[in-house]
Amino acid sequence: MGIELTTLDLNFTWMIVVISIAGLIYAVLLARQTMKHPTTGGDADRISNAIRAGANSYLRKQLISIGVMVAILAAILIMLPAHQPEGFPSIRFGRMLAFLMGASFSASVGYAGMNIATRANVRVAAAANKSFGQALKIAYRGGTVAGMLTDGLGLLGGIIAFIIFREWAFEVLLGFGFGGTLIALFYRVGGGIYTKAADVGADLVGKIEKGIPEDDPRNAAVVADLVGDNVGDCAGMAADIFESYEVTEVSAMILGLAAFPPAIYGFKGVLFPLMVRAIGVLSSIIGTYAVRLRGEKEGAMKAINRGYTTSATASIIGFFVLSFFYMQGLADINTGLAVVWWKFPIAIMAGIGLAVSTNFLTEHFTSVEAGPVKGMSKACQTGAATNLLEGIAVGYESSVWAIISIAVSIFVSVIIFGSLGVTAFYGVALCGIGQLTLTGNNVAMDTFGPIADNAQGLAEMSKDDYFTPQAQSVLADMDSVGNTTKAVTKGIAIASAVIAAVSLFRSYIELPLLLGGELLILDLSVPLIFIGLLIGGAVPLLFSAICIKAVGKAAAKMIREVRRQFAEIPGLWEGTADPDYERCVAISTRAAQKELLPLGILAIATPLLVGFLLSGAALGGFLGGAIIASQLLAVFMANAGGAFDNAKKSIEDGLFGGKGSDAHKAAVIGDTVGDPLKDTAGPALNPMMKVINLIALLVGPLVLQVSLIGYVAADPVAIFVFNPTALGIAIVLALTIVIAFAMWYSKRETEDIADLG
């Protein structure tokens, strides 16, 4: 039955189980606390109910539409080859069940977090009439529900697989990570297209053509826009962070097994990252209670940062204590040199340092108080073109500093272990674990944004006199802070995706060795591997192009529908008649559903085609190219889009003529260009990056067996041999047809979904 657990390992195992369940219980308690707060009892309640109904309807349709693909992939997973150790349950069956568990956990985190957010918005709006502090507390704790669900379910899934499969848990957890990542990809893509189709359409007609406020109830696309904030930022980000949480666990466990073999050291290398995560759960709970205003004049961002700092401090103390008592007596498998206990918490702190630097850089490039956004606001005085040029430059520059901070974190994680072997890459995996230690805080910060945004929208759309001017000012301030917190968490999600992908990249190289084969050697001077690198670098651009084009097409249909309603509904402009909000919700829903299939196929089938056609080594090159291109593109799009948004808000607050001025119109155009960058294509690259890495790990053994070009390890260079097989040729032909279909499907012109019956 494999390697037995020591008494200490067994105690830590059950401690992790208890803490993961405690995190889930805390999420339930926070949800109940949020629901106890009163609503407005007026028109805002009606609008909030409409937002919740639209969000739930969309996610239900999305889950149904991707259910078929999940079922097909589950069937394929159980057929893929897997090492079957004697005395263990079926690895294939366990991997398939773990895939379904990861998919259901990821879907549940997004769905539950979104539901709490759509109930919290009206309660935050009501609390703003009483005090800033109360409104902040409800919004942040409502967002923390999704964060604690992410913590609890991610940790629980990992430890359950370990308890059943022990040293072979990594094979099963590949399925767990793939399930979570796949759902995150669809949530991110679908939610991003949905929300930006509505947002762009509402802004261009409402602000540019009609000169009305952002959430004016006469604008038919407003409710779809408010729904989109929840399906995109709440459900999408929660699932995104959850799959990063899972994937860093998987890579750390694989590298922990390789770096510190259980036959010699027990399960320290595997259980340590899980214990680090458990400490993070407890620290996030502690930090929640530090997020409160110290006087009504204190800013919301300062209170949120205090909670983050409190959680980080508690975590760091816990890491050092855990490492001192648990990670003694280990040696580097490559050099035989002792690995001192303090190196492990330093590697984890490199991840925390990356999160902090990401916060700083994102805030610098997107905050209304910083130079880049001020420069963009100033550029709006001379038109949309100069604003766009300034924003593009800001996005490009931010990508450079972001990738440097990631490189420094990886360098620190590697260099402290004193070698470039698998032990050093275990340090990189710990860096990723450290960066997402405060997942509860990160998801809370992100979900805070749409809760605050929705609350302000409810106050603006409400037709009764419930909201005082002071309440509206409070909600506007919270909405501005929410834009920053969303930008910060997007930056963290992107950086975590890169660290996770780097760890998975090394795991892909180590996997054949763990399964009894040869270590995969990647040499970029070999043409086939370099070809894989080039193709991998191109895929994120194609993926982004499809996402952005989908938003553009859907937004055009939304614009036509909003214009039609203003022209054809009597009394709408005067405010005596209501628009048909449901038509706009239907347009966004249809547009989002349409692009799920081709983008999912592109992410899954492209790495398979490269592997089966050009060899497993070429697939390794493909992964490297995809990682670097995805990171640069994702940061560029996220930060440029966030800066465009806040430049617009700066002008709306009265700068350079304020609302309705020529500068404002230029800023709105910049914002609508940035919207699909920051909320659709950019965030969707995070799960795409990890989908292709996990696909490579799952099919790697089969690729090495049946690829048309075989890989043979040799000294001094690798040898590639043309090795056609009937199975390999059939797979390559099938994948080529599937990818061609996906490209055709994404480009085909469908009926105008504005003409819904």
- Closest alpha carbon to 186 in 53, 51, 70, 54: 70
> Please, are residues 169 and 162 in contact by the beta-carbon 8 Å criterion?
yes
pLDDT (0 to 100) of residue 636: 93
More confident residue, 153 or 752: 153
Distance of CA 149 to the CA centre of its chain: 15
pLDDT (0 to 100) of residue 531: 92
pLDDT (0 to 100) of residue 282: 93
pLDDT (0 to 100) of residue 504: 76
Average pLDDT over every residue of 627-646: 90
Q: Cα(425)–Cα(506) distance, rounded to whole angstroms?
A: 7
Average pLDDT over every residue of 120-140: 90
- Closest alpha carbon to 636 in 365, 234, 354, 359: 365
The string of pLDDT tens digits covering residues 38-67 is 988 878 888 888 888 888 888 888 888 888
* Positive/negative CA dihedral, 477, 478, 483, 487: positive
pLDDT band of 712, cuts 50, 70, 90: low
Evaluate if residue 252 carries a pLDDT over 90: no
Angle made by CA atoms 586, 587, 593, in degrees to the nearest 5: 85
- Poorest-pLDDT segment among 295-299, 571-575, 593-597, 736-740: 295-299
> Please, are residues 83 and 120 in contact by the beta-carbon 8 Å criterion?
no
Evaluate if residue 1 carries a pLDDT over 60: no
CA separation, residue 225 to residues 231, 384, 651, 667 (Å) = 10, 23, 21, 19
* Positive/negative CA dihedral, 187, 358, 443, 254: positive
pLDDT band of 516, cuts 50, 70, 90: low
Q: Which two tokens stand for residue 509?
A: 């190289």
Evaluate if residue 757 carries a pLDDT over 50: no
Q: Kindly report the backbone phi and psi dihedral angles of residue 368, in degrees, each rounded to the nearest multiple of 5, phi listed first.
A: -65, -20
pLDDT (0 to 100) of residue 424: 86
pLDDT band of 10, cuts 50, 70, 90: very high
Average pLDDT over every residue of 194-218: 84
pLDDT band of 286, cuts 50, 70, 90: very high
Secondary structure (3-state) at 468? coil
Residue 71 identity (one-letter amino acid): A
Evaluate if residue 388 carries a pLDDT over 90: yes
- Closest alpha carbon to 280 in 253, 303, 311: 311
* Positive/negative CA dihedral, 641, 485, 631, 403: positive
pLDDT (0 to 100) of residue 2: 66
Angle made by CA atoms 58, 63, 64, in degrees to the nearest 5: 100
Evaluate if residue 723 carries a pLDDT over 80: no
Angle made by CA atoms 24, 27, 33, in degrees to the nearest 5: 145
Average pLDDT over every residue of 610-614: 91
Which residues are bridge partners to 339 per DSSP? 330
- Poorest-pLDDT segment among 34-38, 442-446, 543-547: 442-446
- Poorest-pLDDT segment among 136-145, 279-288, 430-439: 430-439
pLDDT (0 to 100) of residue 754: 41
pLDDT (0 to 100) of residue 382: 93
Q: Which two tokens stand for residue 389?
A: 């040029």
Q: Which two tokens stand for residue 150?
A: 């992410």
Residue 289 identity (one-letter amino acid): Y
Other residues' Cβ atoms within 10 Å of the Cβ of residue 440 = 33
pLDDT (0 to 100) of residue 752: 47
Give the mean pLDDT of the chain.
85
Three-state SS string across 354-421, please? Answer: HHHHHHHHHHHHHCCCCHHHHHHHHHHHHCHHHHHHHHHHHHHHHHHHHHHHHHHHHHHHHHCCCCCC
Longest dimension (CA), the chain: 81
Average pLDDT over every residue of 671-685: 88
Average pLDDT over every residue of 540-554: 90
pLDDT (0 to 100) of residue 591: 82
> Please, are residues 157 and 79 in contact by the beta-carbon 8 Å criterion?
no
Which residues are bridge partners to 719 per DSSP? 712
Q: Cα(374)–Cα(365) distance, rounded to whole angstroms?
A: 10
Residue 83: its H or E element: none
